[in-house]
Amino acid sequence: MEVLQAPTVTPERRKELTLFEKQSGIRFRRIDLLNLAFCHRSFANETTNAIGNNEKLEFLGDSVLGLVVAEYLFTELHDKSEGDLAKIKSFVVSEVSLADIARDLHIDDYILIGKGEEHSGGRNKRALLADAMEAVIGAYFLDSGFKPAKRFILKYLIPEINKVLQNKHHKDYKTLLQEYVQKEYKTYPKYHLIKKTGPDHAKVFWMEVTVLEKTYGPGQGRNKKEAEQKAARLAYNDLDITDE
């Protein structure tokens, strides 16, 4: 089944991919599909040969992942409401969760990225890692079918589900705050950049967030998103919102 033109799998590259298989506990019949799952658009764009990238596999993997997690939650957590199940699922399949799993699998060592993306730290970008994780799931589904893909997903996602149930998971405070404020007050938190300090290579951003007429912060971080998260956490905790 020809899906997309994958990068050539050299003998050296095959050794690398075989190592990934051993680390992750899966085995591909078509190693070229696994190689394609690791091929970022930036690499494909810089290659003279016409090759594909991992974006379609990512699209497929996202759907397979969502189905597997939804089925598991529906089957195992009988006492939870639909809203609770949706909230648990959103945490478990989040960019943060998938990027953490990708790092545990050392996916950052196997990604093929372009020189520009490499220089900008792309190999460690959370979004890129999460996308590659979904692409691997999509590739494995195509290669081996639903049942093996399901086993692979649950092996790494059940621990993430348990973290949520034990309230030990990473919380996206910005999203949680926005959902609460929108639901309770029919409005949105408003973020403001207060200042930024430090040299260009080590900037520190200071952000405040306003909910209704009260301002929280500032939160500080290496970028605006991180500073916004910290400001949102201050507001979230002050409002005594529970996400149980």
- Residue 178 and residue 185: Cα distance in Å, rounded? 10
Query: Do residues 157 and 116 share a domain?
Result: yes
Choosing from 32, 100, 134, 160, the catalytic residue is: 134
The CATH number that applies at residue 185 is 3.30.160.20
Q: What is the mean pLDDT of each run of 10 residues along the chain (244 residues)?
A: 72 96 95 95 82 94 97 94 86 88 95 88 88 97 97 96 79 79 88 92 92 93 91 85 48
Q: Is 134 a catalytic residue?
A: yes
User: Which structural domain, as residue segments, surrounds residue 113?
Assistant: 11-165
Q: Specify the pLDDT at position 241.
A: 55
Instruction: Give binding residues for Mg(2+) as ranges.
Output: 58, 131, 134
The CATH number that applies at residue 90 is 1.10.1520.10
Q: Is 228 a catalytic residue?
A: no
- SS3 category, 190: strand
73 within some domain: yes
Number of domains in the chain: 2
121 within some domain: yes
Query: Do residues 93 and 198 share a domain?
Result: no
147 within some domain: yes
Q: Specify the pLDDT at position 173.
A: 82
Measured CA distances, 42 to 54, 118, 123, 130 (Å)? 11, 9, 11, 16
Closest listed residue to residue 60, CA positions, set 124, 1, 117: 1
Phi, psi for residue 107 in degrees, rounded to 5: -60, -30
Task: State pTM to two decimals.
Answer: 0.72
Query: Do residues 177 and 161 share a domain?
Result: no
Domain boundary among 165, 193, 224: 165
Choosing from 32, 62, 208, 228, the catalytic residue is: 62
The end-to-end CA distance of the chain, in Å, is 45
